[in-house]
Structure 1
Amino acid sequence: MLRTLRRFVDPEVDRHLLASEGEFIIDEVVKHWWTLVLPICGLAASVVCFLAMIVTGAAWWLFLLLGLVIDVWAVVRMFRVHMDRFVITNMRVFRVHGVFNQHLATMPMTRILDISVEQPFLGRLLGFGHFIFESAAQDQGLRVIRYVGRPEQRDLIIQRVIQMAGLRTNLAHPR
């Protein structure tokens, strides 16, 4: 029972590894803290609604209902952020996300043709960006990964894994 419950509160990325093939996690990426700002503002707004109940008289129940709706929205949004993981292994990259229905998208390192890192102005200030993967497949389940913290460093990690696997030739030392 406890194991089943744990699957709903932890993304458990380890269970998606091909351990028998020697796959191991190099980096597990959680969403950047910026994705939690709006839900936290929602929680603050719900506190204001609850405080407004004191002075509104007969309409107190409207503020109670509004505060509860905002709380549920904020908690669900925060939980969705918690359950969204992007994982870099020695063999592939994959993303696990979803609260009730969990979705897994995988791309082997051999299929990655190009990685673009997009950093909007706010992302440059706060240290996040978005990954855009290009592969040989026309339609893929893993194309855009949003709100990746330290995107330049993570891009270098992926490039290093691809290089170490021998999937790309070393331009500095031709064979």
Structure 2
Amino acid sequence: MAWLPRFLVDPQIGRHLLRDEGEVIVDEVCKHWVVYVVPALIAVVGVGFLGLFLVSSVSVAWLPLVIGLGLLSWAGWRALAANMDRFVITNMRVFRVKGVLARSLATMPLGRILDITVVKPMTGRLLGYGHFTFESAAQDQGLRDIRFVGSPDARDLAIQRVVQRAGLRGAPRLSG
């Protein structure tokens, strides 16, 4: 993707950090590879239509050409959108940057995270992905559902570790 401008393939996470306050990235989470399967299948169908274009008569050759190029464009757009969707864990907050032409940024300070639910469907358990659901005191936020997270258990532990180190949860009590 070297031919695409950098702003179209890199969400530029570093510019959203509070470097003056000492914020550092603990983990930057890209989508799991499974999200690229559907765009790849769409692209294969698009290539099939382009092959049909080559063997079609001249009077109707434009139709498979248009369909093939449309499917390839759609597949490329879906893959690019998945590439630009990043979930970031820092020492101060979690945030999500997504969007290709128009970008959105959703942020939640670590102190507002009340509960994290990790859901691993059967295919996710086999292929190594899961979905996060964040619960906070706010009713609705852009960080509620993060889907297709690779190594979800490790990512959950990373968030719990950062929250603990920040002193936002009480020390565990030992009964005895």
Band of TM-score, shorter chain: over 0.9
Aligned match of 2:100: 99
Paired with 1:120 and 1:170, the residues of 2 have a C-alpha distance of 32
Distance 1:115 1:128, change over 3 A: same
One-letter amino acid of the counterpart of residue 151, structure 1: P
Establish whether residue 120 from structure 1 lines up as the match of residue 124 from structure 2: no
1:145 matched to 2:169: no
Question: What are the equivalent positions in structure 2 for 1:147-162 lying under 5 Å apart?
Answer: 147-162=148-163
Note if contact 2:47-2:72 (Cα within 8 Å) is conserved in structure 1.
no
Cα deviation for residue 139 of structure 1 reads: 2.0
**DSSP 3-state at the match of 1:171:** coil
Q: In 1, Cα distance between the equivalents of 2:174 and 2:155? A: 24
Kindly state the Cα deviation for residue 172 of structure 1 after the two structures are TM-superposed.
Answer: 4.9
Structure-1 residue corresponding to 2:28: 28
Find out whether 1:170 has 2:159 as its counterpart: no
Distance in 1, Cα, partners of 2:7 & 2:65: 32
d(CA) in 2 for partners of 1:159 and 1:173?
19
Question: TM-score with structure 2 length normalisation?
Answer: 0.92
Match of residue 18 from structure 1: 18
Residue number in structure 2 paired with 1:6? 6
Note the residue ranges of structure 2 that are not aligned, 5 or more in a row.
none
Shift of 1:127: 0.5
Question: Is the contact made by 2:119 and 2:130 (CA closer than 8 Å) also made in structure 1?
Answer: yes
SS of match in other structure, 1:168? coil
- Aligned counterparts, 1:21-60, within 5 A: 21-57=21-57, 58-60=59-61
Counterpart amino acid of residue 127 in structure 2: L
1:72 maps to 2:81: no
Structure 1 residue 6, shift from structure 2 partner:
3.0
Partners in 2 of 1:20 and 1:55 — Cα distance?
61
Percent identity between matched residues is 55
CA distance in 1, matches of 2:102, 2:51: 36
Q: TM-score, normalised by structure 1?
A: 0.93
Structure 1's unaligned 5+ residue stretches are none
Shift of 1:55: 2.8
The answer on whether the counterparts of 2:134 and 2:144 sit within 8 Å (CA) in structure 1 is yes
| Alignment partners' CA distance in 2, 1:53 and 1:160 | 55
Cα distance, 1:19 vs structure 2: 0.4
Please identify, of 71-80 and 45-54, the stretch whose mean Cα deviation from structure 2 is larger: 45-54
Shift of 1:48: 1.0
Q: Distance in 2 between matches of 1:10 and 1:90?
A: 22
SS in 2 for 1:117: strand
Deviation of the 1:42 alpha carbon: 1.2
The CA deviation at 1:173 is 5.5
